[in-house]
Amino acid sequence: MDEVLLRSLTPHVLTILVRRGADFAAAEDAVQDALVEAVRVWPDNPPRDPKGWLVTVAWRRFLDATRAESARRRREDLVEEEPAPGPAADVDDTLQLYFLCAHPSLTPASAVALTLRAVGGLTTRQIAQAYLVPEATMAQRISRAKRTVSSVRFNQPGDVATVLRVLYLVFNEGYSGDVDLAAEAIRLTRQLAARIDHEEVAGLLALMLLHHARRAARTTADGRLVPLAEQDRGRWDTQLIAEGVDVLQAALARARLGEFQAQAAIAALHADAQRAEETDWVQIVEWYDELVRLTGSPVARLNRAIAVGEADGPRAGLAALAELDPGLPRYAAAAAYLHERDGDPATAARLYAEAAHAAPNLPEREHLTRQAARLNTQLRA
């Protein structure tokens, strides 16, 4: 069974059903039924036209469900004449499907789940495993999302920025279970980039590729986090880096800078340094200035303060950090790092312990705890 083929066909089949008049929720249920049937039938009897086969089966499942529900008798005009089986029309509305799944009426979590289900072709079980929640919980989340977008006209214009934010959220989840969400986000963003000529789509793809290139070096064999400065750069994926840089340069050449391009430029400067001490921190600060100008993001300001500390010294970094809200996520970790570089291990140890207590995940918490323990051991020596 070619799972990759099934997943690539899912959005095409779904959009065909919606164009025929099925509401989104019913169409998505029918497509999932067709995928289950494909898994059962195809190994022994593969179709000559997989897409056409899925469309035919999904449409029949939709009609069966429509006939079975008296509340949907308003759709009787759809069931009077079933389209004849045959090759599926080569009309691709996948882009509209992206916009529909990233509808502003959905919460970010629901938009992510619906995108993975409808565009990514993942099952509810796979999505639940990836997000470490019970399958029933994820099923309810997806069901509510489908009901929300079912009343949205399929030809409404979409918001590229919202779609990109959803894909960025998927990528930042990393991976767990049997679905690698980082790789899935890259696959979906490649798909989007092939369908829309937009510099920020390219910027996001470049950012993902450049970050993903460092993945193998980010953790040790036993799962411990490895800070960027300590990573074995020989383990970075140079092919992904080269692709990311090429994609970024093409986007920047259009002279319409956006936040994902700025983030990708920062990642490219890190990737360009053969050794940590060769990092061009002055340029990185300049790109953070652009990112702050574009977004005003407190997180960007926090990261800029760390970059200033590398470019101009830890006291300059602490001065930049002092302008920010101490309640920001990872503020204590940034302050700890800069205080350690400034020769104040006691303050750094206290802040590392504080940061560990507030860490959002176990690997980060363990890393910060080890940093605090290391400094406390030095202080007792």
Asked if the structure places residue 164 within a domain, the reply is no
The letter for the amino acid at 313 is G
Asked if the structure places residue 101 within a domain, the reply is no
Given a cut of 50, is residue 91 above it in pLDDT?
A: no
pLDDT at position 69, please? 59
Asked if the structure places residue 97 within a domain, the reply is no
What is the CA 132 to chain-centroid distance, rounded? 16
Least Cα distance to 358 among 337, 333, 379 occurs for 333
Asked if the structure places residue 54 within a domain, the reply is yes
How many whole angstroms separate alpha carbon 300 and alpha carbon 120? 30
Asked if the structure places residue 112 within a domain, the reply is no
Range of the domain at 53: 1-85
Asked if the structure places residue 18 within a domain, the reply is yes
Averaged over 363-381, what is the pLDDT? Answer: 93
**Those residues with Cβ within 8 angstroms of residue 4's Cβ, 6 or more apart along the chain or in another chain:** none
| pLDDT tens digits along 111-137 | 888 888 888 888 888 888 777 789 999
User: How many secondary structure helices (H) and strands (E) does the chain include?
Assistant: 19, 0
How many whole angstroms separate alpha carbon 133 and alpha carbon 34? 25
pLDDT at position 175, please? 53
| Total count of domains within the chain | 1
Long-range contacts of 342-349 (CB under 8 A, 24+ apart): 342/314, 342/315, 342/318, 345/375, 345/378, 345/379, 346/375, 346/379, 348/375, 349/375, 349/376, 349/379
pLDDT at position 1, please? 56
Least Cα distance to 167 among 82, 247, 101 occurs for 101
- Contact present, 217 and 235 (Cβ < 8 Å): yes
Count the helix, strand and coil residues of the chain and give each as a percent rounded to the nearest 5.
Answer: 70, 0, 30
**Those residues with Cβ within 8 angstroms of residue 51's Cβ, 6 or more apart along the chain or in another chain:** 9, 12, 13, 87, 88
Given a cut of 70, is residue 361 above it in pLDDT?
A: yes
Q: Identify the residue whose tokens are 């000529």.
A: 197
Asked if the structure places residue 377 within a domain, the reply is no
pLDDT interval class at 89 (50, 70, 90): very low
Torsion of CA 242, 248, 249, 255, to 10 degrees: 180
Asked if the structure places residue 40 within a domain, the reply is yes
Torsion of CA 124, 130, 133, 138, to 10 degrees: -30
The letter for the amino acid at 348 is A
Instruction: Give the range among 67-76, 103-112, 245-254, 354-363 with minimum mean pLDDT.
Output: 67-76
The letter for the amino acid at 357 is H
